[in-house]
Chain A
């Protein structure tokens, strides 16, 4: 009943009321077992409309767009395209109808190049034509990417650019974007909005899924807010505040945590002239920094500037040439394995959850063991993490793959904090995670720092860095800027550093 009511209100109030709808969802429902992931949802999209789909992780946004994109079929309800009933059987059929989608988690072939990956979905174009188009679109929209690079060598941010290019190559009528700005600098995000504005002006409808309320307010004129599978509100996000939107999403007022100044003591992690040969990625050119007791050090930077390499060098997945390049509480660990670094008091949480920090086909108890076997596995440890971090999942000991992104990330961070580390290294701790889970994770990190640990947060999310870090340094092409107090720098200043403007030049310009 509420769905039907909203459908009519959209018809009356939408700013594109006069235009024939491009896509209409009428009372669509999809259930997985007893869970109604999408419950009686109606939605109208018109050509040229920039429509936001807001909601927490698990609200049903992904399930809803998967039905539009043909990955899933609705259990009941109707999808109309150009006013005609349409059953979208597969993503290829969706693409044929002009529906493009940029996924939050990219489904690509690791071993193939950028151009080859695109050729897989565009069988009727030659590889040469695709290479040329990639360069052209890259220039046109500022999405520069070398078409011959292997996907395996690209970072998450660069892969997302490939996905965006993939959609643009197909001249879409409807473009679905799932959390697209989470890995972009503010400048890049603004550039993306210009791209999207240009596309919309050309008549392409945009369905924009995000939990970044500022982005939604900057870009979209209509927002549909979902909670637990249902549409709870439809509004113009520009007439709402970020707080009121968040309240609609979560159903309660959210408190944004902010790092309190804590006692900062002696250095616990010292990195001195850390070098790493490229090995297929970005080489590290002699990084030096320290993270002190009680401190959270942020390492900002756009995707693919050496973050994964820095993480691997710190975690011991790649070894430094010199033993003294990395020290924990004064003890050199540069050539030790991950297990021995953990014994020395380190803990790590990489960017990619499934397949790196956790194994989807293993149960949570076994995933707990992954990083605890070094120092002894506590019985019931996994359950303790689930309790203290409010990890929601069905079953006594579920497979990691059955958890939503936010819940799995809470489990991973909780698992590392449960090791009571002296030094914690986290990469993108809240990427693609809902606001509630992000708040939990941020609070836990700040609490750990307050208890005397040193934390390094490698993140492309400037909001995150400003919210929780005491100091911030910028990684650009494998080189690290001098860390600064977060209170003394602006997002724009950091953005310039991330874009490669030399620190010295910046100081001189002042």
Chain B
């Protein structure tokens, strides 16, 4: 039986993700046992192998970078009650914009500006893609969830068309991909011998900036107010249209930046599959991180574990890669269920003495 708490419980707000992770592991146990795999071994590969050695640990961080960038942006978006689920599209546009700059840089130009230019272009690309749902929502009342989601498919088709047509590499024997980016457009490596690049610094700085904005600035206060009570926020003088536009621009821009970081680091070219699925996984990151940009950093690592663990399980256990997505789905499911406990308490004991 659920009973409403007088005030939201701060303890449960912290505990809920922990319980959710524990329940996910338990459910995973049952799942693997049902599939006839040794559950202990499977869980070990999923949850421990990503931490096993330096290489795995660096890969963990590499995976976490785009998740953290998108997730912290979505966190403030969701905090405002604006459900931007089109991050994959904004990510794709960021990648296209960054790729466009990298591929069309005039030869012999000073290379030192190329990477910042690519990242900046990526941010702008994602912002523009996030701006479209905001404009439609503010001017016509269109549903942000639907418009942002549908724009994801438009973005994917745009990328497809570019890498097969105008931007296709003439030397790729008809494979749909662009030429490799020039060296000046590539992210420098942070730890020699691994793939870990400076994007990790970008992600941490972005999350710190967002956390500061949300907690300390007037704009951040307006975002939190609108998420909790839209009417009270507009009474307090925070324009709904302004807040929606702001959070869509910021979260779109960060998703675009993530796309730009990803194509200038691990991929180094444009191709039809640029792992835009990070944009959906980042929804889980935002919620797991308690809709707090700093929490999103930690949550991004947790999600990265399911990716790396999933890849390792695919190699070692011959499990399908999609098992990782099952884990991500279960995690979000359990998390949302556990979040009920922030506002409600469980009462196992029924009222006594009433007979």
Contacts and interface: CB of A to CB of B under 8 A. Distances in A.
B351 A359 contact: no
Given A370-B225, A373-B236, A402 B7 contact: yes
Contacts of A315: 235
Interface stretch (B14-22, B226-234, B260-268): B226-234
B352 interface: yes
B348 to A, nearest CB: 13
A73 B354 contact: yes
| Interface residue range, chain A | 35 or more
A366 interface: yes
B236 A370 contact: yes
Given A76-B352, A79-B354, A366 B8 contact: no
Interface in A324-360: 337-340, 342, 348, 350, 352, 354-360
A32 B235 contact: no
A401 B234 CA distance: 19
Given A357-B235, A361-B8, A77 B225 contact: no
Contacts of B229: 354-356, 359-361
Interface in B200-232: 218, 221, 224-225, 228-229, 231-232
Given A76-B353, A359-B232, A339 B237 contact: yes
B350 interface: yes
Contacts of B236: 338-339, 370-371, 373
B11 interface: no
B353 A399 contact: no
A361 B7 CA distance: 7
Given A87-B355, A369-B221, A356 B231 contact: yes
B52 interface: no
B218 A373 contact: yes
A75 interface: yes
B225 A338 contact: no
A75 B352 contact: yes
A202 interface: no
Contacts of A356: 229, 231-232, 235
Given A356-B229, A357-B235, A361-B228, A75 B353 contact: yes
Interface in B99-132: none
A17 interface: no
A163 to B, nearest CB: 20
A357 B236 CA distance: 8
Contact of A355 (B6, B232, B351): B232
Interface string A67-85: 0000001111111000001
A317 B218 CA distance: 19
Interface string B316-355: 0000000000000000000000000000000000111111
A366 B235 contact: no
B239 interface: yes
B291 to A, nearest CB: 13
B265 to A, nearest CB: 40
Contact of B355 (A85, A359, A371, A402): A85
Contacts of A317: 234-235
Contacts of A77: 353-354
Contacts of B353: 74-78
A77 B228 CA distance: 38
| Interface residue range, chain B | 20 to 34
B237 A338 contact: yes
Contacts of B228: 359-362
Identify the interface centre among B6, B7, B221, B229: most chain A CB within 10 Å of its CB.
B229
A358 B232 contact: yes
B40 to A, nearest CB: 42
A87 B351 contact: yes
Contacts of B354: 73-74, 77-79, 85, 87
Given A73-B351, A401-B7, A362 B235 contact: no
A373 B7 contact: no
Contacts of A361: 8, 228-229
A75 B352 CA distance: 6
A14 to B, nearest CB: 24
B318 to A, nearest CB: 48
Interface string A46-81: 000000000000000000000000000111111100
B6 A337 contact: no
Nearest to A33: B6
Given A348-B235, A373-B218, A73 B350 contact: yes
A337 B236 CA distance: 10
Contacts of A501: none
Contacts of A340: 237
B188 to A, nearest CB: 42
A337 B353 CA distance: 56
B49 to A, nearest CB: 41
Identify the interface centre among B8, B237, B352: most chain A CB within 10 Å of its CB.
B237
Contacts of B350: 73, 89
A4 interface: no
A374 interface: yes
Contacts of B231: 352, 355-356
A398 interface: yes
A337 B239 contact: yes
B235 A399 contact: no
A136 to B, nearest CB: 34
B8 A350 contact: no
A236 to B, nearest CB: 31
A316 B225 CA distance: 18
A459 B7 CA distance: 31
B7 A399 contact: yes
B322 to A, nearest CB: 37
Interface of A: 32, 73-79, 85, 87, 89, 315-317, 337-340, 342, 348, 350, 352, 354-362, 366, 369-371, 373-374, 398-399, 401-402
Given A87-B351, A340-B237, 9 more contacts: A77-B354, A87-B355, A89-B350, A348-B235, A356-B231, A359-B228, A370-B232, A398-B7, A399-B7
Kindly list the 4 A-B residue pairs having the minimum CB-CB distance in the complex, ordered from nearest: A73-B351, A339-B237, A338-B237, A76-B353
11 contacts: A73-B350, A73-B354, A74-B353, A76-B352, A354-B229, A359-B232, A370-B236, A373-B236, A373-B237, A401-B6, A402-B7
